[in-house]
Structure 1
Amino acid sequence: MSCSIIEPNEPVDIGPSVPSTRRTGESTFAELTTIATGGPVRELVRATTEEEIVDAVRDADENGIDVLVLGGGSNLLVSDQGFEGRVVIDTRNQIDQLQISGCGGAILRGTAGTPWDEFVNVSISQGWNGIEAMSGIPGSLGATPVQNVGAYGQEVSETIYSVRIYDREKKKRTDMVPSELGLSYRNSKLKESTAEWGATGRWVVLSVTYQLGLATNSTPIAYKQLADALGVDVGQRVPTVDLRAAVLDLRRSKGMVLDDSDRDTYSLGSFFTNPIVTEDRIPEGAPKYAHGDLFKTSAAWLIDHAGCAKGFGGELTDGRATLSTKHTLALTNRGGASTGDILTLARQVRSRVHDAFGIELVNEPVILGEAL
């Protein structure tokens, strides 16, 4: 069997990247995060090259300064006291096509600051598949391996080829392959290392390389809600452009596509991960999906059936923070909410679920300067 090699195109430069900000200033995390809460930023570095990122992080480490490398701000809840260290934002926004072949597919690399949804859209427009079901997820490309981002039956662990990182312990740049990343459900070694290293873990993501299929049809649809929206059966394929449109419609219906006019989108997406437990702990009637030797159930179902319906929680914060009116997994800033308000609501939801079902919900966003 012979494999045709297609000459890679010129790099796709889609302009300077900016975080998913809500306002034009940059003096507080309220201006740098999608939930629009959080205290002051003491020092901000907007890096335009890989060298500037590495220099900013290395200098902070050598001088005992805490450092936070910030992506799109869509998965970070910062205390109302802010962050006393250095915040580094990767403003680079470029995609390089490294290799395209009939056997190996498309191998493409994006800088960490590239907005994830732009990366997805470019791949679909070029006729590549494998990440189309993750359309509309806010945040940056560099965050995808940290969280092992996934949606509607796809996870980035299925298509990541390598991750270029700066190793803060060894003080050098290198590449990590999937087997070194420890990717699991919404987790990775990159994320786990924050327990020891602080706001940003040992490995700072500089760029991510993906290997995608050469196809204008999607990978087999694995999620029933998405299949139903497209009018097909689970396991079928549809044009990737149609799948993207359906995913974006579903996400909008849940307030999961950023829209400054919609307060339900002033959130961090799904605030709790779906619990993974033994089968006997799943309540009667709750969804369950095999996950190795255990089972995954729906955090949204648990929240709703514990008495926390859509829009719940306004009485706790004088209406400043509630569950989304569209989706019980999102905690939203209705206007003027503090991080303290969001945490008050999160603790109440978690407590009710634990009291009702004996299951402890775990937060998906990173919480900085506070504890749930």
Structure 2
Amino acid sequence: MCDTVPSSDVRTTRVVSPEQLRDLLAETGAVVRPAVPLSELTTLRVGGPALVAECDSTDCLVATVRALDDAGVAVLLVAGGSNLLIDDAGFDGVVVRVRNTGVEFGTDSVLAEAGANWDELVAASVAAGFGGLECLSGIPGSVGATPVQNVGAYGVEVESLLRRVRLLDRVSGEVRWVEPAELGFGYRTSVLKHSDAAVVLAVEFRLDPTGTSAPLRYGELARVLGASEGETRPAAQVRAEVLRLRAGKGMVLDPADHDTWSAGSFFTNPVVGDDRLDQVLAAITAHLGEVSVPTYPAPSGTKFSAGWLIERAGFAKGFPGEHAPARLSTKHTLALTNRGAARAADIVELARTVRDGVRERFGIVLEPEPVTVGISL
């Protein structure tokens, strides 16, 4: 689901010798690891080799990114690796591993550094008696990635929880706090996504000190909690049910379960503008007959369920079969999974097949949610 974003063109990329690169990184405090298989750093477990510079503090992270930018070296930022699809050829530059993990609770907020594990932060907030983050339980990845793609689940989006975000401006070199209004949030996006202009260093979230959950806006979750939509429940109770629901869909990381070797939901739920809505609904009727189509209001049109469209386009759970190295999850058709030996090319082939099938049947183009590196779908 979430991870920091690739960024490689703030400066014109130049050729830097291995010796120059080694000397440059030695001055920043980063720990350098050559030729690391990036499959080791991503939840999809694909990706070729790259030089990795690990930054365990914010000062090191800032110094490393500034130095590489000044030298014109391409940079790829990686934290949890849960929202990345990296080419089998790897990355021709430096992978900066974001590993600053400090967390500090206030009376009604929490300040977390970008490299902190997201679900561990949610768990800690609930254990400390706070509410607010519980609906986002079980999402893999880092804290710093959550505002990048406006992470959301079970009726809650990060946008509604943010107080401020600390950024490194890669053009000016300035470090500053920004307000949520500056980040241009939308459905699974922000001005930070697919951009190399800034690096997230830390995030501050509002919390409810009473331990009460956010209002329940997701029907499935409200039902299992015996609540009406809009009601609240104790945050710990909501977290437990969210984790149970996510695990049932293969959306909680488990090294022994290949259904979780994924990037979470691979496609975003598509939004169809009012000018095309009748055309899309007619295509669905022509293919399926008169059926009930799950749709939801969206600011720019009508949102459709990507998982529903994928299944109705003929792609069942486990597609294309048990011997394929990359398959749709056996628990949830929205996840593309590595069955143990897949390469990036296998994931891409499956993604294209599913995307093209939905487009041909219903006239809707599904957009990938993961950030792709060296790959075009």
> TM-score w.r.t. structure 2 length?
0.86
Q: CA deviation at 1:217?
A: 2.2
Distance 1:368 1:307 in 2: 29
Matching residue of 1:169: 171
Partners of 1:286 and 1:302 within 8 A in 2: no
Distance 1:182 1:336 in 2: 39
**What are the equivalent positions in structure 2 for 1:1-372 lying under 5 Å apart?**
27-41=36-50, 43-97=51-105, 99-100=106-107, 106-193=108-195, 201-278=196-273, 279-280=277-278, 281-282=280-281, 283=284, 284-314=291-321, 318-372=323-377
Partners of 1:323 and 1:329 within 8 A in 2: yes
Q: CA deviation at 1:314?
A: 3.5
Where do 5+ consecutive residues of structure 2 fail to align? 1-33, 285-290
Distance 1:294 1:303 in 2: 20
Where do 5+ consecutive residues of structure 1 fail to align? 1-24, 101-105, 194-200
Distance 2:345 2:292 in 1: 34
Q: CA deviation at 1:215?
A: 2.1
Q: CA deviation at 1:220?
A: 1.6
SS of 2:239's equivalent? helix
SS of 1:322's equivalent? strand
SS of 1:260's equivalent? coil
Q: CA deviation at 1:188?
A: 0.5
SS of 1:87's equivalent? strand
Partners of 1:314 and 1:320 within 8 A in 2: no
Matching residue of 1:15: none
Residues 16-66 of structure 1 deviation map (CA, whole Å, 9 limit, x = unaligned): xxxxxxxxx98211111001111111x211112111111111111111111
Matching residue of 1:196: none
Distance 2:186 2:194 in 1: 11
Distance 1:176 1:68 in 2: 23
Matching residue of 1:12: none
Q: CA deviation at 1:212?
A: 1.5
Distance 1:311 1:90 in 2: 34
The aligned amino acid for 2:199 is V
Mean CA deviation greater in 119-128 or 260-269 = 119-128
SS of 1:81's equivalent? coil
Q: CA deviation at 1:293?
A: 4.5
Percent of residue pairs bearing the same amino acid type:
47
Distance 1:172 1:221 in 2: 39
Structure 1 residues 336 and 273: CA distance shift in structure 2, 3 A? same
Mean CA deviation greater in 275-284 or 346-355 = 275-284
Residues 246-297 of structure 1 deviation map (CA, whole Å, 9 limit, x = unaligned): 0000000000001111110000000000001134234452211111241111
Distance 2:192 2:299 in 1: 22
Partners of 2:78 and 2:95 within 8 A in 1: yes
SS of 1:246's equivalent? helix
Q: How many residues align?
A: 332
Matching residue of 1:197: none
Mean CA deviation greater in 65-74 or 276-285 = 276-285
Q: CA deviation at 1:172?
A: 1.3
Q: CA deviation at 1:313?
A: 2.0
Question: What CA RMSD, in Å, does the superposition of the two structures yield over aligned residues?
Answer: 1.4
Distance 1:124 1:366 in 2: 30
Residues 181-221 of structure 1 deviation map (CA, whole Å, 9 limit, x = unaligned): 1111000101142xxxxxxx111000001111222221221
Distance 2:84 2:299 in 1: 29
